[in-house]
Amino acid sequence: MLRQVRLFLAFLLVCFAMLGGPVAAQLTDRQSEYYQNWLETADRAEADIESNRTSNAALENLRAEIHNYREDFNKARGANTDRIQTLDAQIKALGPAPEGDATEPEEIARLREHLENQLTSLQVPQIISEEAFSRANGLISEIDSLLRERQTKELLERGVSPLNPVYWGPAWVDIVEAVRGLINESVLNLKTNIVQDHLKERGLGIFFLTVAAGVLLYYGRYWSEAAGEYLRQLGGRGSGVWTFLVSLLRILLPWLGVWLLVQAIVMTGLPGLRGTLLIQNVPYWAALIFYYDWIGRQVHVAQAAQNFNRLSRKSVTQLRVYLDILAVFLIVYEFGLLFDQIENISDATRAVISFPVVVGTALVLLRIRRIQAVKPDAEDGQSSETPRSSGLTQIMDFLRKAVFLLGIASPILAAVGYTNAAEGIVFPAVKTLVLFAALTIFHRFITSVYGWLSGQGEAARDSLFSVLAGFVIAILTLPVLALYWGARQTDLLEVWSRLLLGFDIGGVTISPSNFFTFVIVFVVGYGLTRLLQSGLRNSLLPKTSIDPGGQNAITAGTGYVGIFLAALVAIMLAGFDLSSLAIVAGALSVGIGFGLQTIVSNFVSGIILLVERPISKGDWIDVNGMMGYVRDISVRSTRIETFDRTDVIVPNSDLISGVVTNYTRGNTIGRVIVPVGVAYGTDTRIVEKILGEIANSHPMVLAHPAPSVVFQGFGADSLDFEIRAILRDVNWVLSVKSDMNHEINRRFVEEGIEIPFAQRDVWLRNPETLHGQGAAQNQKPRAEDAPPEPSTSKPVDMTEADLTDGDGDEL
C-alpha cells in the first residue's frame, strides 16, 4: 500500500512538473524513473541502517547518493513559488466562496474552479518534494549518527598492550615480510618486459625530469634569494614582506623537485602495487618536512612580533630540531597507517609499531613546552620583562598546560592498550600547535603587507585591520581544526548545507543569502541617505531662508527617515516576513518598556525637539544652571557648548520635561541691565540725563523701544540707578555692558560725580573697663604682648577689607 502511494505521488510529480504542459508530458518517463530510483535508494538506506552491518565506506557512498537526491528535491520544492503566490492572490481577489445554499455567478464560479485547479497542480510537486526532502534529511542524519558511534567506539576500544614481549616477535616478522615483499615486487617488475619497454620509450622524459628535480633541489635556495633581491627593488624594504615570500620559495622550489623526481619514478613503471601506494605519498611527506622546517625558522619572528620573550639562538636551534623530529614522527605514523592498509596487519603488530612513535612524539612535545616557557634572554644575560596579561598570553598558557597533559596521557593510554585513543590525542595536538604557529606567521605577513601599503609600518600591528584579520583567520581555521580532531569532511559539508538552508527564528528563516542581501541593501541605503544629508546640509539648505536650527532639523529628520526606509526595503528584498517579525517586535517592546525606559524617553524627546523645535542649533539657552550654545541635537541627547568652551551633554528628556530658558528663540533681540550707584547729595536728574545719553549713544541699543533709566531707590551706601535697554543681538550683552560701564566711569569723572563705596565707623565704648578687667587678673603682660592704648576720643575709620581676617572670612 505504501509503495502504491509513493508511485501515485511520483505520477503527480511528473504531471505537475515545473515546466508544465506538453513539455512535462515528454519528461514523464524520466521523472517517474527518477522518483522510483529514489524510493529504492531510500528503502535500501533504511535497511542498511537497521541492520548496522554495512561497512563505513559503503555507508559513505550511500550517504553521498542520498545527498544528491536531497539537493534535487530542495530545488524542486522551491519551484513555481511566484506563480503560486499570484494564483493565491487571484483567488483571494474573488472573495470567499459562498456558503450553504448560496450560489455565485457562473462565470465567477468557473474562474474560481480554474484557478484552484491550477493552484493544486502547482502545489502537489512542492508537497512531494518536501516529503522526499524531509526523508533524505532524516536518512543522512541517521547515517551520520551511526558513523559517529562507530568512530567513537573505535577510538575508545582497548586492544593489546605493546609492552607485552609476546607481540614483539610477530610484529618484527610482519615488518620484515612487508619490506621483503616490497623489494621483491620491485625486482620482479624490473625484469619484466613492460618496465624495460617503459625505460626505452620514456627514457628521455625520465632523464629530463630527474635532471630538473636535481637542479631544483640544489639551486632552489639560491634562486629564491635572487628572486627576493629582484622583488625588493619594487619597494617595501624593511617591512618583511619579501622576506616572507622568499622563505616560501625556499620550500616550494625543493618540493617541486621532489614531485618531479616522484613522477620520473612512476614513469619507469618500476614500483608495483605496494611501491606505487608508497611513492604516491612521498610528495606529501616531503611537504611535511619542508613545512615544519619553515615553521621552525619563522616561529621566533612571530613570537617577537606578538610581544613574547625573544628566544636565544640555542633555543631557536633546538626548536627547529624538535619540529623536524615531529615531522619525521608524523611521517612514520602515516607510513604505519599505509602499512596497515596494504598488508592488513594484526592489531597487536600495529600497537607495537605505533607505541614508540607515540612516546617519542609526546617527549618532543614536552621538550617544546619547556623551550616556550623560557623567560631569560640567553644572549645578553638579562631577564626580559614579564609580558603584560592579554588574551593571547592566556591562550598560550592554556596550550602549554594542554601540551603537558597530552604529553603525559598519550604514552600511558598507548601502554595500557588504548592505541587509537593515544594516536587520536597526540598527533592532532602536534598538528594544532603547528597550525597555530603557521597562522601567527601568516597573520604577521598580512599585517606587514597592510602596513607597507598604508604607510603605517610597524604601527599596523596594533591597528584595527590587524584585529579583524586575526578574527577572520581564526574563523577560517575552525574547519581545519575540526578535521584534525576527528571530524569527517561530510560532517563539515552537512553543517554548511544546513547553514545555507537557514535557521528559523520566530517564524523567520535566516540564511546566508538573505542575510547578506539585507546587509548589502541596508548599507547601500544608508550610504545614499548620508549623501542626501550631505547635499542638503552643504548645497541646498544654505541657499534657502531657513534658519540654521531648521536646517539641522531637516537634515536630521531626513537621516532618520532614510535609515528607516533603508531597513524596511532591506527586510522586504531579503524575503523576511514582516508579519512574523511582529511577534518579535511585540516581545521587544515589552522589554523596552521595562528595561529601556530612559533611552526610549530620550529618543522620543529628541524627535519632539526636532519637530517642535523649542530649541534649535545655535540657540543660547540656560538649563539646570548650565548656560551655553546648542551645538548639536541627536536622538538621545543635546550637546551644549558653555562659555568656558566645554561641552555639556544634556539628555533630551531634561529639555522637554524641565524648565529651559532660551535667550535667542526666534530672534536675537534681548535686554541688558546695567546697575550703578552714586553718592548721596548728587543731583539725580543730572545722573539720569548722563545715563540716558550713554544708553542712546551705543550702536547695539535699539531706538524703539527706547532705553530707559530707572532710579531704583535709596541704598545703604548709594543712590541706585539702572540702565535698561533692548539690544539688537543679545549675544553681545556682556560686551555692551562692559562698554557702558567704561563710558559711565568716564562721564562721572568729568562731571565730578562720586561713585561711593561702603564705609563703616567703629566706636569702642568704655575702654577703661576693658583695661580694668585685664589688671584684675593679676597678670602683668609682657611688653611685647601689651596692646596699644586705644583712643577714647576719636572714631576709628575702617573699610570693608578691615572686617575680614586673613583667610577672607568675616569677623
Q: What is the 3-state secondary structure (H, E, C) of 473-489?
A: HHHHHHHHHHHHCCCCH
* DSSP state string for 252-310: HHHHHHHHHHHHHHHHHT---HHHHHHHTTHHHHHHHHHHHHHHHHHHHHHHHHTTPPP
- The H or E element containing residue 645 is none
> Where do the CATH 2.30.30.60 domains begin and end in the chain?
596-602+613-666
Residue 652's pLDDT is what?
86
Give the C-alpha separation, 91 to 111, whole Å: 9
**658, 624 contact by CB (below 8 A):** yes
Give the C-alpha separation, 669 to 805, whole Å: 45
**704, 744 contact by CB (below 8 A):** no
DSSP 113: H
Rg value, the chain, Cα: 46
Residue 753's Cα: distance from chain center in Å?
76
pLDDT per position as a tens digit, 261-312? 988 888 887 777 778 888 888 999 999 999 988 888 786 555 544 444 455 6
Give the C-alpha separation, 655 to 649, whole Å: 11
Handedness of CA 445, 450, 455, 456 (dihedral sign): negative
**612, 662 contact by CB (below 8 A):** no
- Nearest to 294, CA basis, from 260, 259, 365, 245: 245
Q: Does domain 596-602+613-666 have CATH number 2.130.10.10?
A: no
Grid coordinates 613546552 are at which residue? 369
> Where do the CATH 3.30.70.100 domains begin and end in the chain?
670-757
Phi-psi region of 97 (alpha: psi -120 to 50; beta: other; left: phi over 0): beta
Grid coordinates 581555521 are at which residue? 477
> Where do the CATH 1.10.287 domains begin and end in the chain?
505-595
Give the C-alpha separation, 59 to 520, whole Å: 41
Residue 483's Cα: distance from chain center in Å?
25
Q: Dihedral, CA atoms, 390, 393, 397, 400, nearest 10 degrees?
A: 160
SS3 634: coil
Give the C-alpha separation, 698 to 456, whole Å: 58
- Stretches in the chain below the pLDDT threshold 70: 1-31, 100-101, 232-240, 299-313, 372-393, 395-396, 502-509, 549, 577-596, 759-760, 767-811
Output the CATH code of domain 670-757: 3.30.70.100
Q: How far apart are the first and last CA of the chain?
A: 114
- Phi, psi dihedrals of residue 495, rounded to the nearest 5°: -60, -40
Class at the top of the CATH hierarchy for domain 505-595: mainly alpha
Q: Residue 533 corresponds to which cell in the numbers above?
A: 544629508
Q: Residue 465 corresponds to which cell in the numbers above?
A: 585591520
pLDDT per position as a tens digit, 590-616? 666 666 677 778 778 887 887 777 888
Give the C-alpha separation, 799 to 811, whole Å: 13
Give the C-alpha separation, 774 to 766, whole Å: 13
